[in-house]
Amino acid sequence: MTLAAPAKSGLPLVAIVGRPNVGKSSLFNRIVGRRQAIVEEEAGTTRDRHYGEAAWHGLTFAVVDTGGLMGEAVSGPYATPISEQVGQALEEADAIFFVLDVQTGVLPLDHDVAALLRQASQPVYLVLNKADNAALEAETGEFFRLGLGEPQTVSALHGLGVGDLLDRVVERLPQAPARDDTVSCRLAIVGRPNVGKSSLVNAMLQEERMIVAAEPGTTRDAVDTALEMDGKKIVLVDTAGIRRPGRLGRGVERAAVTRARRAIGRADVVAVVLDASQDIVAQDMHILGAALEAARGLILVLNKSDLIKDDAEVLDRRARQLRWRARFVPWAPAIWSSALTRRNLETLLRTAVTVAEERRRRIPTGKLNALLKRATIEHPPGAVHGRAVKIFYATQTGVEPPTFLLFVNYPDGVHFSYQRFLERRIRSEFGFEGAALRLILRKRGEPNG
């Protein structure tokens, strides 16, 4: 797959909602075109979400269709599947397409959706689908009465009216700003509810030595905050989202992961906050997984350490637990913090800047290959189908994340554990502390036959 799910990509997001059979997925396909959609199964449900990317008048944005299974029972903050679907759109989208069927007119379920959408803070576009001919285009009167503005007739099937709809939406979508080179680090502070994220952010922003300025984020209400430390500018991504108290109830877990993903998508470095006074739980691991997937910089923060500072046994247990649960990221620095006593807040910010710098580090090809040669002599990559696996050559092709391209005779023969070994050797020689690395194996024939 070449696309990252937009929730992870930080693009402005347009959500398509509406009752079943109005043509949401046809509209989705029409907008996304032939580009491949990403299907993301939602944790704990049989529903899936279709994500795609689209571009219109030079603006790239993400589209999501949460069509899924509408018959299934749902518990949680929203009473019915449809209100759950709309609720999620209200939570995460920058604009909403409310799709109706011009041929059937307004049905009771449409009224339910309209009632929820009238509370939306983002723009809502009334899309009257299946307007396949001029006679149907005229049938818009009753739709006006939904109180959601002027309807746009379209035919997703024939592509009619879709361009006009996109003209209207891109006008009001937030534009992704150009990368700001004066920023040393964009830091996302993520974690499950109640680990102390907002307390940490508030404590950081109260620090006198840090100069603070709010800046608009790329997406609706994603307000970022810039602060300065040691003369370096650090942007706390989605400060507003962190500081807003979380919702209560069953939807919280998913909402927390969704929000974390969005913040991670716009960050260089991710601080995954854990509650040091509690065991590490599955949801901590989900959020850690989301940070890893995105190949950002990673810092593990054990907050509320004040609660256990005098308890050597708990301290030791937590450290061992963390080493085990985070054994696949031995390169991520771990910091004991306390928002209450302000322990290590500056250390956390300094570490974030260092990790961001490590992500930009470039290794000269000569040095990299010298290391590779030593490593493969010391520990050869083994064999596949009776033939020795050979790594001919490596080069760093990119930064953020540092990406290494390795030319190999049998890429499939390079076992995952061997890639880990190479990664460890690269790190012990060159650093990259806190930075996720990417190794790409590419097939190449033997030199000289």
Q: Count interface residues toward ligand GDP (CB under 6 A).
A: 16
Both structure tokens of 242:
């962190």
306 binds ligand GDP (CB under 6 A): yes
Contact with ligand GDP (CB under 6 A): which of 85, 153, 219, 338? 338
Token couple for 209: 């030595």
Among 76, 77, 246, 431, the residue binding ligand GDP under the rule CB under 6 A is: 246
Identify the H or E element spanning 188: strand 183-190
C-alpha 254: how far from chain center = 13
* 339 is a contact residue toward ligand GDP (CB under 6 A): yes
Q: How far is the C-alpha of 411 from the C-alpha of 445, rounded, in Å? A: 11
For ligand GDP, the binding residue among 38, 185, 195, 274 (CB under 6 A) is 195
Between CA 304 and CA 447 the distance in angstroms is 57
Residue 197 as a binder of ligand GDP (CB under 6 A): the answer is yes
Question: Which of 271, 368 has the CB closer to ligand GDP?
Answer: 271
Which residue, 193 or 411, has its beta carbon nearer to ligand GDP? 193
Report the residue number, 218 or 338, with the smaller CB distance to ligand GDP. Answer: 338
Task: List 95's β-bridge partners, or say none.
Answer: 14
Q: Which stretch binds ligand GDP (CB under 6 A): 37-45, 227-235, 286-294, 299-307?
A: 299-307
Q: CB–CB of 241/222 below 8 Å?
A: yes
Q: What residue ranges in 250-357 does DSSP mark as E strands? A: 269-275, 297-303, 334-336
Using the rule CB under 6 A, is 307 a contact of ligand GDP? yes
Q: Which stretch binds ligand GDP (CB under 6 A): 79-87, 119-127, 189-197, 390-398?
A: 189-197
Residue 199 makes CB contacts below 8 A (sequence gap 6+) with 303, 339, 340
Q: Which string of x and - marks every residue 142-181 that binds ligand GDP (by CB under 6 A)?
A: ----------------------------------------
Under the criterion CB under 6 A, does residue 241 sit at the interface with ligand GDP?
no
**Which tokens in the block code for residue 268?**
């260089």
How many residues in total does the chain contain? 449
User: Tell me, what DSSP letter sits at residue 46?
Assistant: S
Residues that bind ligand GDP (CB under 6 A): 191, 193-199, 246, 303-304, 306-307, 338-340
